[in-house]
């Protein structure tokens, strides 16, 4: 059994009791439905209502806005448990959208959207990426033009998580000059919104239960008070400010998945026999598993340290960039090594290790690619 490292300074009995409740709920209510959700390509929005009612959706949001006023650690524990059960990161995106509104919304905007987001009535997506730009976000072309008391939005987004199921979107648009200073964020309630269309539910290599979609905006009219915050042109700053937390929302699942992969592989190799002994008894297997367990342990230690620093307000962006690229690269490596030890069964979709391997691949791409993370670290080194 791996050392679980569930004894870091940021953990206490309350968090552990919460973790246990979340784990039990996921095992009873979500895990049994995952196969069906994978087949249909999305998790229905209604699933998050009872999840929210138990305080699991946005525990860290202040009580006045419908949350439980807990720390970010509670949200990260939820993401940890979801990842361990192979539930994809749809609620992490919802969570991040809530933080944009919490940190930059006007009081009226917070009161309008956060309680409904905390109850699961609204499920959010974040629409930044466009067919023509992802990493180079400041090149985005979706345009919002002022028209009296409204904005008119035209453009297209792609690869949007929750794109099919969300009824609230935080959308990055161009309201001004070229480059980052012309970018703003707008909040759209998309139910029956004229001019808004969800395109294809995109078929992916992995993460089959998570909906990823194209979105089209064709003269979408929204009142000007749906610009996030008070002023145009603040979008990039708003996006950048959440980056350290956003990176951790990806690193925690990376740690969880590696632990799961090792656990599954130990169990499998101990019962599978070849050449008169178990696969586990081959020295190669033992060494590989020892290496994977060590990597998982180091990743968890690093992630726990980052969480502590996040809670203390001392997590610098560079540490978060390091965590994002390194932990997700390790996730790829560990799931690959573990799959190998399953032999042909490891390639069969019905085996969790095959899914963990396929699901891991996107971790190095979304939320800022490995290359972009390294570039940002190098910029600081060279400054």
Catalytically active residues are: 246
Q: Give residue number: closest CB to ligand FAD.
A: 134
- CB of 269 closer than 8 Å to CB of 280: yes
- CB of 253 closer than 8 Å to CB of 80: yes
CA distance 101 to 235: 12
Q: Counting contacts by CB under 6 A, is residue 134 touching ligand FAD?
A: yes
Compare residues 119 and 369 and give the one whose CB is closer to ligand FAD.
369
CA distance 334 to 356: 10
Compare residues 127 and 293 and give the one whose CB is closer to ligand FAD.
127
Q: Counting contacts by CB under 6 A, is residue 362 touching ligand FAD?
A: yes
CA angle 204/207/211 to nearest 5° reads 75
Which of 181, 204, 333, 361 is close enough to bind ligand FAD by CB under 6 A?
204
Segment near ligand FAD (CB under 6 A); pick from 71-79, 112-120, 156-164, 174-182:
156-164
CA distance 197 to 219: 11
Which of 170, 252, 372, 376 is close enough to bind ligand FAD by CB under 6 A?
372
**Which helix (H) or strand (E) is 152 found in, with range?**
strand 150-161
The pair phi, psi for residue 37, each rounded to 5°, is -65, -35
- CB of 4 closer than 8 Å to CB of 56: no
Compare residues 158 and 304 and give the one whose CB is closer to ligand FAD.
158
Q: Counting contacts by CB under 6 A, is residue 294 touching ligand FAD?
A: no
CA distance 185 to 352: 38
CA distance 352 to 356: 6
Residue found under tokens 């101990």:
270
Q: Counting contacts by CB under 6 A, is residue 160 touching ligand FAD?
A: yes
Q: Measured between alpha carbons, how far is residue 31 from residues 19, 63, 209, 349 in Å?
A: 16, 29, 11, 16
For 265, the 3-state DSSP assignment is helix
Segment near ligand FAD (CB under 6 A); pick from 238-246, 285-293, 296-304, 371-379:
371-379
Q: Counting contacts by CB under 6 A, is residue 379 touching ligand FAD?
A: no
Which of 75, 129, 167, 190 is close enough to bind ligand FAD by CB under 6 A?
129
Compare residues 46 and 375 and give the one whose CB is closer to ligand FAD.
375
Q: Counting contacts by CB under 6 A, is residue 188 touching ligand FAD?
A: no
Which of 190, 207, 285, 363 is close enough to bind ligand FAD by CB under 6 A?
207
Compare residues 238 and 285 and give the one whose CB is closer to ligand FAD.
238
Neighbours of 28 (CB within 10 A): 9
Instruction: Return the exposure string of 290-324: e unless at least 16 CB atoms fall within 10 Å of the residue's CB, then b.
Output: eebbebbbebbebbbbbbbbbeeeebeebbbbbbb
Site string for ligand FAD, 77-106 (x = CB under 6 A): ----------------x-------------
Q: Which of residues 29-68 bind ligand FAD (CB under 6 A)?
A: none
Q: Counting contacts by CB under 6 A, is residue 180 touching ligand FAD?
A: no
Segment near ligand FAD (CB under 6 A); pick from 76-84, 275-283, 294-302, 368-376:
368-376
Compare residues 118 and 360 and give the one whose CB is closer to ligand FAD.
360
Which of 126, 153, 186, 228 is close enough to bind ligand FAD by CB under 6 A?
126
For 168, the 3-state DSSP assignment is strand
Compare residues 170 and 295 and give the one whose CB is closer to ligand FAD.
170
Q: Counting contacts by CB under 6 A, is residue 127 touching ligand FAD?
A: yes
- CB of 306 closer than 8 Å to CB of 248: yes
Q: Counting contacts by CB under 6 A, is residue 255 touching ligand FAD?
A: no
CA distance 104 to 185: 10
Applying CB under 6 A, the residues found at the interface with ligand FAD are: 93, 125-129, 134-136, 159-161, 204, 207, 212, 362, 365-366, 369, 371-372, 375
């Amino acid at each position: 059994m791996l050392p679980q490292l569930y004894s870091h300074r940021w953990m206490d009995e309350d968090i552990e009791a919460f973790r246990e409740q979340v784990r039990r709920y996921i095992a009873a209510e979500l895990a049994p439905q995952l196969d069906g959700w994978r087949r249909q390509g999305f998790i229905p929005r209604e699933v998050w209502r009872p999840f929210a009612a138990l305080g699991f959706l946005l525990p860290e949001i202040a009580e006045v806005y419908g949350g439980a006023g807990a720390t970010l650690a509670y949200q990260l524990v939820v993401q940890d448990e979801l990842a361990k059960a192979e539930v994809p990161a749809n609620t992490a995106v919802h969570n991040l959208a809530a933080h944009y509104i919490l940190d930059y919304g006007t009081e009226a905007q917070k009161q309008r959207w956060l309680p409904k987001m905390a109850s699961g009535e609204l499920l959010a997506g974040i629409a930044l990426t466009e067919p023509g730009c992802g990493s180079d976000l400041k090149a985005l072309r979706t345009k919002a033009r002022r028209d009296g008391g409204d904005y008119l939005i035209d453009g297209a987004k792609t690869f949007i998580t929750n794109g099919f199921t969300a009824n609230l979107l935080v959308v990055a648009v161009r309201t001004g000059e070229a480059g980052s200073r012309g970018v703003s964020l707008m909040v759209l309630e998309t139910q029956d919104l004229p001019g808004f269309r969800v395109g294809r539910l995109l078929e992916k290599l992995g993460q089959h239960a998570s909906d990823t979609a194209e979105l089209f905006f064709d003269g979408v009219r929204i009142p000007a008070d749906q610009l996030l915050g008070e002023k145009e042109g603040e979008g990039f700053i708003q996006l950048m400010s959440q980056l350290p937390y956003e990176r951790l929302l990806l690193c925690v699942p990376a740690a969880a998945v590696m632990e799961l992969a090792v656990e599954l592989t130990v169990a499998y190799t101990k019962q599978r026999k070849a050449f008169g002994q178990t696969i586990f008894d081959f020295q190669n297997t033992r060494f590989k598993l020892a290496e994977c367990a060590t990597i998982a342990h180091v990743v968890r230690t690093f992630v726990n340290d980052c969480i502590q620093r996040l809670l203390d307000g001392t997590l610098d962006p560079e540490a978060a960039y390091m965590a994002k690229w390194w932990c997700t690269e390790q996730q790829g490596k560990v799931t690959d090594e573990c799959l190998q030890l399953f032999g042909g069964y490891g390639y069969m979709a019905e085996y969790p290790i095959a899914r963990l391997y396929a699901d891991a691949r996107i971790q190095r791409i979304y939320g800022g690619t490995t290359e972009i993370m390294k570039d940002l670290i190098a910029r600081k080194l060279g400054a």
